[in-house]
Amino acid sequence: MSRENVSRENVSRENVEAGGRRTAAAAATGAAAVVPALIDQATTDTSAAAWLALGAYAAVAVAALSVRHRRPFGVFCAVLAVLAAVEVATAAAEVKVSGLAVLPPAFALHAVGAHGPRRRSAAALAVGGLLVAAGLLANHATAPDGWRGGSDVLAFVAVLPVGWALGVAAHGHRALLAAAERRADDARREQRLRAEQAAAAERVRIARDMHDVVAHSLTLLVVHAETMRARSGDLPAWARDRVDALAAAGREATEEMRDLLGVLRAGSSDAAPRVPAPSLSGLGALVDAARGAGNPAVLTAAGPLDELPRPVQLAAYRVVQEGLSNARRHAPGAPVTVRVEADAAEARVEVACGPPPEPAPPARGSGAGLAGLAERVAALDGRLHAAPAPGGGFRVAATVPRRAGGRIDARR
């Protein structure tokens, strides 16, 4: 199963779980709002008319409260209007409903304070208070003595401002959390910016040091080689060829170093050199250079190498280049076998170096070349194996799929 499918399934599962949690929360809120009134109704009025009125009101309240987060003002007005209609109808029928029927409007008013703008929530509280006051006045003006509300009504309606105040407090708490998250995001962005600036400054320093040391040394090497070539009459033929190869290699290395230093100073791939990236068509030149340096090298190529994607060709080229370079450095004069094959599925590269014909002094090296190769090949979903070969020598082998992701910059 692909990563995209797994990601979609995870997102879908999370959405289903979130929907289930919201449904459960809505059911719990509806139950908390209407169950107390249903329980209290058993001691208030057990007539069928009272139960019918309270049941209808409870059903409407539960349905409305399930969408209180999306439509807080509409839910509050709807629940309050239905409660007023129920109170008027039951008073006309001379039946009573529980005073706890005021809880659904209190829950709706909490949603108004928690999710609505401050002014509109205050206006909703004021409208609710005016309607309750108007209802009490109408009750005292029209109802007989036994049906007039007293101080107990105030005890019931007191939950309305309490619910609103709790909602406003929740709104303020969320605003504080959002502000804290914004400050944390700003701090992370500032920290990342400082890290990037520090990295850019370090890149400039490294580029300056490399230019002062490496580029100067390469230039000096080319100058010495050209000076020796100018006195080629005093040199044997084989030495003249070596001097020419040395000067050409030095000039090429100097140009590549300047391009790399430009990228290092800019810190962006936009500054990368615009010359074509090496490809497998240049393997012959690499092997010829190895022979010229004293390592008998044999190249075997098979398959449609020129049809490989450019990132795959570049990775294979770098593997051969690193293998031949290590052979020159650690085993001068040793035979080297280079094999590059390709088929419909993958490209395979192998560079096998035999033991040096004579003991050679140990060459200094950090191993960064092989580590970089491993990262390059792994980025293309390939595998790299580098280890001493049986009987002496060293072997580097890489396998890269043809349909690699291509996450390597083809200009490097």
User: What's the one-letter identity of residue 34?
Assistant: V
Instruction: Answer yes or no: are the C-beta atoms of 30 and 44 closer than 8 Å.
Output: no
By CB neighbour count within 10 A (0-12 exposed, 13-18 middle, 19+ buried), where does 390 fall? exposed
Q: DSSP per residue over 122-136, as a string?
A: HHHHHHHHHHHHHHH
Instruction: Answer yes or no: are the C-beta atoms of 287 and 248 closer than 8 Å.
Output: no
Closest C-alpha among 48, 46, 47, 144 to residue 91: 144
pLDDT at 153: 64
What does DSSP assign to residue 295?
A: -
| Token pair of 226 as six digits | 């050209």
- The span from the CA of 381 to the CA of 405, in Å, is 7
Instruction: Answer yes or no: are the C-beta atoms of 280 and 317 closer than 8 Å.
Output: yes
- The span from the CA of 89 to the CA of 52, in Å, is 11
- The span from the CA of 302 to the CA of 350, in Å, is 12
Residue 86: half-sphere exposure toward Cβ, Cα within 13 Å: 25
pLDDT at 114: 83
pLDDT at 399: 93
Q: What is the pTM of this model?
A: 0.45
| Token pair of 409 as six digits | 């910059």
Closest C-alpha among 147, 162, 159 to residue 37: 159
Instruction: Answer yes or no: are the C-beta atoms of 351 and 319 closer than 8 Å.
Output: yes
Sequence-ordered alpha helix ranges (H) in 143-266? 151-157, 159-210, 216-230, 237-266
| Token pair of 269 as six digits | 């791939």
H/E element, 399: strand 394-401
Q: Among all chains, which residue has been given the structure tokens 């070969």?
A: 389
| Packing angle, helices 118-142 and 159-210, rounded to 10 | 170
> In tens digits, what is the pLDDT along the chain, a chain of 412 residues?
445 554 556 556 665 565 567 667 777 877 888 888 888 888 888 888 889 988 888 888 888 888 888 888 888 888 888 888 887 787 777 788 888 888 888 888 888 888 877 777 777 777 777 776 666 666 656 555 655 555 556 667 777 778 888 888 888 888 888 899 999 999 999 988 888 887 777 777 776 666 666 666 676 677 777 777 666 666 676 666 677 777 777 777 777 676 666 666 665 544 445 556 678 888 888 888 888 878 889 999 998 888 888 888 888 998 998 888 888 888 888 899 999 999 988 999 999 998 888 776 665 555 667 887 888 888 888 999 988 888 788 999 999 998 754 444 444 4
pLDDT at 1: 47
pLDDT at 407: 44
Q: Among all chains, which residue has been given the structure tokens 């939950």?
A: 159
